Chain A
């Protein structure tokens, strides 16, 4: 699979899924959140197995035709699936600390946060709240690409959150835990709301995520990005609040301590550490897009 990258050939959807890591920090941190969304996420990294699980089919010829259709649908740029994965990747790349992942990724070993303190800086509350909100908006933008529903997608997205399951559910669980509760505390949505009430274009532009996703904002009407971000966030706070209900730092940290060694006085660094060391958006985003493409492909054979 790596050869494909060397020769610059575009990866197929099958390659993207099969190349996802089975272990490492991203996977371990997501598995630690199973208590928020019990049994939702099995980390699918085998495209053929995904097809069997999602379609309930076992016949080889039938599955071969579903696979060919899935590859074709994903390869067609107009379908929006590539854009969706691109959005998820851009969110991760905005806060990635390059070069350290391999160092921290020793399978089975506990990572000592202490080793990373000079490489990471906890964000100030305002920029943390904006980044969190922009991650929610990124999810909305990816949703629009995958589902293809007309308009700005805000109402459809808010309604669809209740149907979120599997990899999509665990991604949102990670959002509220890693980007919400850990850095900002259990009242993180209130803090986000405060920031939103004073949101300006200048504040948005300070976020590394904004510059990477603004091209995907809907061109419907003449809605300014600030307005779109505010409305998108407002429409989803109820659902996010439900998902975060009962969560506190202590509970989440206790689960993360299965693989990260962190002392109580350094918890401020934990959110920043997870931000730069994991790619949970693109990892589960790839799985979500593959799910939707397979679900469609089986209906087009």
Chain B
């Protein structure tokens, strides 16, 4: 008869300890430290370029920590646009360690022969990849700057 209430108390203590840990984690986020999990895809949408001047941006995938869109020019798919949260992806982040060039203040790195990437706020990889041969490296670099890079950078300090 004595052991039952004791074990209940122990369970309660364990639950309180879990809550305290959770609360500490949450307050850490509030103070602006990096959230432990990848960001919701919907939060990344606002940082994509808008459709304009014969180009249309069509969203194709929205996952936790990843959003992708196809860039169409006059109805033809010319490139893909993507933002990936690299919070749990050290291999992909590593390619920026040796980058010497910056675009709009963010480290730039080529990715394969068809991709151009920026690392924003040490966390978000913005990539433009060519689908059409006419969409060359210069076009990729230009489209990287059409992302709302400041909006994206601000996400990491929210």
User: B84: CB under 8 A from chain A?
Assistant: yes
New A-B contacts (14) at CB < 8 Å, excluding given A163-B60, A298-B111: A56-B131, A57-B112, A147-B62, A148-B61, A148-B63, A148-B64, A150-B42, A150-B62, A298-B115, A299-B66, A299-B80, A299-B125, A300-B125, A301-B111
A298 to B129 alpha-carbon distance, docked (Å)? 9
Chain A: residues with CB nearer than 8 A to chain B?
A: 55-59, 62, 65, 78-80, 146-150, 160, 163, 292, 295-296, 298-301
Q: List 23 contacting pairs A-B, 8 Å CB cutoff, sorted by A.
A: A56-B114, A56-B130, A58-B113, A59-B113, A62-B111, A62-B112, A65-B91, A147-B62, A148-B41, A148-B61, A148-B63, A163-B58, A295-B60, A295-B68, A296-B63, A298-B115, A298-B129, A299-B84, A299-B127, A300-B66, A300-B89, A300-B125, A301-B91
Chain B: residues with CB nearer than 8 A to chain A?
A: 41-42, 58-64, 66, 68, 70, 80, 82, 84, 86, 89, 91-92, 111-115, 125, 127, 129-131
Contact of A56 among B66, B89, B113 (CB under 8 A): B113
Can you name the residue of chain B whose Cβ is closest to the Cβ of A160? B60
A79 and B92 contact, CB distance less than 8 A:
no
A146 and B61 contact, CB distance less than 8 A:
yes
B127 and A57 contact, CB distance less than 8 A:
no
Query: Which A residues are in CB contact (< 8 Å) with B129?
Result: 55, 298-299
B108 to nearest A CB, angstroms? 16
B91 and A55 contact, CB distance less than 8 A:
no
- A295 and B114 in contact (CB under 8 A), knowing A56-B130, A79-B63, A146-B61? no
Query: Which B residues are in CB contact (< 8 Å) with A296?
Result: 61, 63, 66, 68, 82
- A59 and B112 in contact (CB under 8 A), knowing A146-B61, A147-B60, A147-B62? yes
Query: Which B residues are in CB contact (< 8 Å) with A56?
Result: 113-114, 130-131
A291 to nearest B CB, angstroms? 11
B97 to nearest A CB, angstroms? 15
Can you name the residue of chain B whose Cβ is closest to the Cβ of A58? B113
Query: Which A residues are in CB contact (< 8 Å) with B131?
Result: 56
B41 and A298 contact, CB distance less than 8 A:
no
Contact of B82 among A55, A65, A146, A299 (CB under 8 A): A299
Contact of A55 among B59, B70, B84, B112 (CB under 8 A): B112
A163 to nearest B CB, angstroms? 6
B119 to nearest A CB, angstroms? 13
A166 to nearest B CB, angstroms? 12
Query: Which A residues are in CB contact (< 8 Å) with B127?
Result: 299
- A147 and B89 in contact (CB under 8 A), knowing A296-B68, A298-B129? no
A80 to B21 alpha-carbon distance, docked (Å)? 30
A84 to nearest B CB, angstroms? 12
A295 and B80 contact, CB distance less than 8 A:
yes
A33 to B66 alpha-carbon distance, docked (Å)? 35
B112 and A298 contact, CB distance less than 8 A:
yes
Can you name the residue of chain B whose Cβ is closest to the Cβ of A148? B63
A58 to B112 alpha-carbon distance, docked (Å)? 9
B116 to nearest A CB, angstroms? 12
